[in-house]
């Protein structure tokens, strides 16, 4: 598991967000945070793999692989 640093907007400090392991050829290209539930985050990779967490990165579910929904 890799991690990203994210800024907590309320307290202005960095937190670590665990993310799935990706190859160098398939990096994260987009991150979306639900504005009404900041624990729900969706990431997309260069190869159109899409992952979603509902608990701030504790568990990730692949919802699309190479653009095809699971």
Q: What is the dihedral of CA 16, 38, 13, 31, to 10 degrees?
A: 60
Show pLDDT as tens, one digit a residue, over the chain (70 residues).
688 787 777 777 788 888 988 888 999 999 999 999 989 999 999 999 999 999 989 999 999 999 999 8
**CA 59 – CA 10 distance, rounded (Å):** 23
Q: What pLDDT, on a 0 to 100 scale, did the predictor assign at position 69?
A: 93
CB 53 within 8 A of CB 60: yes
Token pair 């653009």 in the structure block, residue: 67
């Amino acid at each position: 598991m890799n991690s990203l640093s994210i800024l907590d907007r309320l307290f202005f400090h960095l937190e670590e967000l665990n993310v799935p392991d990706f190859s160098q050829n398939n990096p994260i290209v987009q991150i979306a945070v639900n504005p009404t539930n900041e624990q729900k985050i969706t990431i997309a990779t260069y190869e159109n793999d899409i992952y979603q967490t509902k608990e701030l990165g504790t568990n990730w579910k692949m919802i699309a692989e190479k653009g095809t929904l699971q």
